[in-house]
Amino acid sequence: MKIIAIYNIKGGVGKTATAVNLAYLASTDGANTLLWDLDPQGATSYYYKVKPKVKGGGKKLIEGKSDIEDAVRGTDYEDLDILPADFSYRNMDLFLDQTKKPQKRLRKLLQPFEDEYDYVFLDCPPSISSASEAVFAASDVLLVPTIPTTLSLRTYKQIRKFFHENGYAEMKILPFFAMVDRRKQMHRLIVEHPPSFMPGTLRSYIPYASEVEKMGVHRAPVGVFAGRSRAAVSYRNMWEEVKEDLHLLESELE
Amino acid sequence: MAKNQHEYILPETSSTADFIASLQSIFTIREEHEAVIWRTFYDTFDWRLFNQGASLELYKDQTSPKVYWRADKDSARKIQLGLSSVPRFIDHMPRSNLRKQLEPIQKMRELLPRIKLKIKRQPIVVLNDEGRIIVRLNVDEYWFRPAKTRAAHVLGRRVSSKAVKGYQENYDQYLDFIQQLELRTAPDNMLKLALAETGHSAGDYTTKLNLLLDTDEPLIAALKEILARLSEIIHQNTPGTIRGEDTEYLHDYRVAVRKTRSVMSEIKDALPPDIVNTYGKFFSMLGKYTGPVRDIDVYLIKLDKYQKNLSKEGKKQLKAFKLHLQELRKEKQAALKETLKSSEYKQAMKSWDEYLQQPVENLDENSPQARPVSTVADKLVWELYQQTLEQGNVITPESPADDIHTLRKTCKKLRYVMEFFQSLYPARRIRELILVLKGLQDVLGDFNDYAVHIDMLKEFRKSVPEESVEKAMTAMIKELKKKQAAVRAGFAEQYAQYSSQDHIDEFREIFVDSR
Ligand SMILES: Nc1ncnc2c1ncn2[C@@H]1O[C@H](COP(=O)(O)OP(=O)(O)OP(=O)(O)O)[C@@H](O)[C@H]1O
Ligand SMILES: [Mg+2]
């Protein structure tokens, strides 16, 4: 089981779009995939037509008082399940802080799935908090969508600084550019020459594309309703690159 | 099967349409687009994977192709590797856990596609009132073509299902429905079924003779059976020997040729002189043609072992030597290929097979050919055993290496003869005798192995001008000689068992007294 988190402090950078599409692609590889919607807004759950509600409430789930397996829902796609959001997740920090080892909490909650899922994707809300620290501790890798603008790069720098200062220096971070508009000179420049503080930036990037916005209408990943679109192709390339990067070409299945 | 996954066999008597109709009478379903899946199972020529209980499969559907490895072929646990083809040789397999598990089984052999299944899949989803998918199932029709010359046919139909998370109750309803249809769960995997259809089981390639000789059979008839079986092995390994990359084909080919020659030379007066004359020459020529390639193979296989003990310069030189050998091999292999593809070769093998297939008729009862096979076998085995004792008894720690080589050769003759006639004797007892002989042969073989190593390093030493490398080689040769001496020290122990009074008595009882 590999845990892949899609994270950025910044909102509206394409985290959810990435999580929704990559998880779908992983499942079409034949890998058993779980997508956990950690954002109380429940956008991911919405895209997969699943009610953003956890049976018994989010608090009990996080505290380990209800069976996490009961909360999992199947999607319209084979091999892809979702752990829906719950509005109570807005208080995630509180829930976590009431447990013994808040940092290790998420990892522990996912333990029962070790043999069941090949991949777990975490769609994170935009913040930096106890919840995000629990995400960092749980994840094998962090994918960080970044819009190629000066301001977003500054945010990325802050994230890196935070990692270095808080004991996550070893964390595997894969930044990539999202919502790239090649008509904009600044976007072009940054994508072609990523700054030195962004080592390991993925070669593939996600263009600004109307198909991604249409996901909300179709309530499906782009690969499903626009398989040949530029957006679908770039998510596919990105998934291949991530697998390669993480040596995930191989997985053990059951 | 993982929990909440099931697979059942659809009986031949009911059609897929029937099944869907009965499903429809209870559930709201939607038939999805039909899909085609190809599953190709790979194995070595001698079924190493299957014999180890493993399986390697290339799986192709509409998504990206992948390779599945099951260390236990009947288990659901598998390793998936995102590859679009199966590399023939282990060196080309990407570094992975899969490779780690496959390597000790496949070793130097090539992987061949052995069984290819086409699956026509009808995916069906069961929906609830809100239109959500609550159960997924596939009706799979397995198509299989047992041979190039035969038409494809349906091997079986199966319905597999999987629970959708959050809808366990609905899945249980589905299972109840299946129970009412009284479908059988699908027990064994399709690979086995497909194999049975090809008319041979996996693991059917063996270099063992596995004959069923009859003690009263005239000698000539028995010999023809032995030779025909050897010819079969020669034929089985010919295409691979011609391709020339997987060195094991040539190895097995040569052993069968050597055994063929040994039948002709060890069992005198048994075959007509003109036959012995013509084919004796033919097979000895084959031995000569195949020898050089095999010798180089043996060098190349051993060469890699020396890599790590060498300096950087030495490694470079070794690489050059290896390249030189590989070039030489190419040359020799081309000549061998030409021989094996020539019409003369094919014609000779054909008439040899024709001769072997001719029924034995009108035998002169007094001719040497008409002797009962067991009489001849008894005598031959006993004589050869005596000969090994004569040669072995005089070996001392000081006697020259040649004496050991002579004994090694006689032991080999004895081993061949015992295996040719194995089926004439009480199975367990002769197996025991062969086992002890094998123990002795292993020591003699190791001794010879070191001799080959040393020869190779001497060749290599000659080929390098570099002084430091020469020194390294000389040191290594010295090391090998030490090891060879240690093997030799172990000889006495093995030989003691082989030549013990008990063992001699057992030989005598089986091959002399029982008649
Ligand atoms: N590549 C893209 N091209 C065009 N629009 C995009 C692209 N990626 C995302 N969007 C749109 O931008 C908005 C924000 O995207 P998304 O929800 O994926 O970001 P997010 O980082 O998850 O936001 P939040 O921080 O609120 O969770 C959405 O309306 C989405 O449709
Ligand atoms: Mg989001």
B78 touches chain A (CB under 8 A): yes
Q: Residue A29 and residue B411: Cα distance in Å, rounded? A: 56
| Residue B461: predicted pLDDT | 84
| Residue B357: predicted pLDDT | 95
Mean pLDDT over residues B313-340, rounded? 89
Our mutation pick for probing the ligand 1 site, out of A15, A135, A218, counting the most ligand atoms within 8 A of Cβ, is A15
Q: Which 8-state DSSP code applies to residue B122? A: E
- Residue B12 confidence (pLDDT) above 80: yes
Q: Residue B259 and residue B279: Cα distance in Å, rounded? A: 13
The better pLDDT of the pair B215, A4 is held by A4
Mean pLDDT over residues B213-229, rounded? 93
In one letter, which amino acid is B257? V
Q: Residue B491 and residue B485: Cα distance in Å, rounded? A: 10
Give the pairing of strands B5-10 and A33-37. Answer: unpaired
Q: Residue B267 and residue B289: Cα distance in Å, rounded? A: 24
B167 touches chain A (CB under 8 A): yes
Q: Residue A148 and residue A184: Cα distance in Å, rounded? A: 10
- Residue B303 confidence (pLDDT) above 70: yes
- Residue B111 confidence (pLDDT) above 90: yes
Q: Give the tens place of pLDDT for each residue, B391-435.
A: 999 998 888 889 999 999 999 999 999 999 999 999 999 999 999
Contact B80 A81 (CB under 8 A): no
| Residue A249: predicted pLDDT | 59
What ligand is nearest to the CA atom of residue A179? 1
Which of B64, B96, B164 lies closest to A29 in CB terms?
Answer: B64
Q: Is the CB of A39 inside a 6 Å radius of any atom of ligand 1?
A: yes
Q: What are phi and psi of B161, to 5 degrees?
A: -140, 160
**Architecture of the domain made up of B206-364:** Alpha solenoid (1.40)
Atom of ligand 1 nearest to the CA of A207: 1
Atom of ligand 1 nearest to the CA of A20: 18
Find the A170 Cα to ligand 1 centroid distance in Å: 28
Residues of A in contact with B137 (CB under 8 A): none
Q: Residue A147 and residue A10: Cα distance in Å, rounded? A: 10
Q: Give the tens place of pLDDT for each residue, A141-174.
A: 999 999 999 999 999 999 999 998 988 878 889 9
Find the A208 Cα to ligand 2 centroid distance in Å: 16
Q: Name the residue ranges covered by the structural domains of chain A.
A: 2-253
Residues of B in contact with A254 (CB under 8 A): 2, 76-78
| Residue A250: predicted pLDDT | 64
| Residue B317: predicted pLDDT | 78
State the nearest Cα–Cα gap between A65 and chain B, in angstroms.
18
DSSP string spanning B258-325? HHHHHHHHHSTTSS-HHHHHHHHHHHHHHHHHHHHHHHHHHHHHHHGGGGGGS-HHHHHHHHHHHHHH
State the helix-helix crossing angle for B467-498 and B373-393, rounded to 10 degrees: 120
Cα separations (Å) of A77 from A20, B164, B165, B195, B367? 12, 10, 11, 34, 79
Q: Residue B491 and residue B408: Cα distance in Å, rounded? A: 12
User: What integer best gives the mean pLDDT of chain A?
Assistant: 92
Spatial CA neighbour of B213 closest among B377, B436, B366: B377
B1 touches chain A (CB under 8 A): no
- B329 close to B293: Cβ distance less than 8 angstroms: yes
Q: Residue B371 and residue B353: Cα distance in Å, rounded? A: 23
State the nearest Cα–Cα gap between A33 and chain B, in angstroms.
12
Question: How many percent of chain A have pLDDT more than 90?
Answer: 78
pTM: 0.74
- Residues near B471 by beta carbon (within 8 Å), at least 6 away in sequence: none
Asked whether this chain's domains B5-198 and B372-515 adopt the same fold, the reply is no
- B196 close to B165: Cβ distance less than 8 angstroms: no
What ligand is nearest to the CA atom of residue A12? 1
Lowest-pLDDT range of B133-142, B150-159, B219-228, B288-297: B150-159
- Residues near B294 by beta carbon (within 8 Å), at least 6 away in sequence: B247, B250, B251, B254
In the CATH hierarchy, which top-level class contains the domain B372-515? mainly alpha
Question: How many percent of chain B have pLDDT more than 90?
Answer: 60
Residues of A in contact with B96 (CB under 8 A): 249-250
Residue with token string 């057992």: B506
User: What integer best gives the mean pLDDT of chain B?
Assistant: 89
| Residue B490: predicted pLDDT | 87
In one letter, which amino acid is B33? H
N-to-C CA span, chain A? 11
- B67 close to B38: Cβ distance less than 8 angstroms: no
| Residue B294: predicted pLDDT | 93
Q: What pairs with residue B138 in β-bridges?
A: B123, B160
Q: Name the residue ranges covered by the structural domains of chain B.
A: 5-198, 206-364, 372-515
Q: Looking at the domain that runs over B5-198, which CATH code has it been given? A: 2.40.320.10
Q: Give the tens place of pLDDT for each residue, B34-67.
A: 999 999 999 999 999 988 989 999 999 887 788 9
- A153 close to A56: Cβ distance less than 8 angstroms: no
- A103 close to A134: Cβ distance less than 8 angstroms: yes
Contact B162 A78 (CB under 8 A): yes
Contact B77 A250 (CB under 8 A): no
Q: Residue A239 and residue A237: Cα distance in Å, rounded? A: 5
Nearest chain B alpha carbon to A71 = B166
Mutate to test the interface with B, among A79, A116, A253 (most CBs of B within 10 A): A253
Mean pLDDT over residues B113-141, rounded? 92
Q: Residue A166 and residue A144: Cα distance in Å, rounded? A: 18
Cα separations (Å) of B142 from A14, B39, B117, B184, B452? 43, 10, 7, 17, 51
- Residue B109 confidence (pLDDT) above 60: yes
| Residue A248: predicted pLDDT | 61
Nearest chain A alpha carbon to B132 = A76
Q: Looking at the domain that runs over A2-253, which CATH code has it been given? A: 3.40.50.300
Structure tokens of A24? 């779908």
Mutate to test the interface with A, among B165, B167, B171 (most CBs of A within 10 A): B165
Confidence of residue B84 (pLDDT cuts 50, 70, 90): confident
State the nearest Cα–Cα gap between B64 and chain A, in angstroms.
7
Mean pLDDT over residues B356-374, rounded? 90
Confidence of residue B264 (pLDDT cuts 50, 70, 90): very high
Mean pLDDT over residues B324-334, rounded? 92
Residue B495 region by backbone torsions, left for phi larger than 0, else alpha for psi between -120 and 50, else beta: alpha
Mean pLDDT over residues A41-49, rounded? 96
Q: Residue B96 and residue B85: Cα distance in Å, rounded? A: 15
Find the A93 Cα to ligand 1 centroid distance in Å: 24
| Residue B154: predicted pLDDT | 86
Spatial CA neighbour of B77 closest among B93, B62, B55, B58: B55
Q: Residue length, chain A?
A: 254
Contact B167 A74 (CB under 8 A): yes
Confidence of residue A251 (pLDDT cuts 50, 70, 90): low
Residues of A in contact with B78 (CB under 8 A): 252-254
Lowest-pLDDT range of A1-5, A247-251, B473-477: A247-251
Mean pLDDT over residues B491-495, rounded? 92
| Residue B187: predicted pLDDT | 65
- Residue B321 confidence (pLDDT) above 90: no
Q: Give the tens place of pLDDT for each residue, A91-123.
A: 999 999 888 888 899 999 999 998 889 899 999
DSSP string spanning B97-117? HHHHHHHHHHTTPPPEEEEEE
| Residue B397: predicted pLDDT | 83
Contact A250 B78 (CB under 8 A): no
Q: Give the tens place of pLDDT for each residue, B185-213.
A: 876 567 777 777 766 566 678 888 888 99
Max distance between CA atoms of chain A, in angstroms, equals 52
- Residue B1 confidence (pLDDT) above 60: no
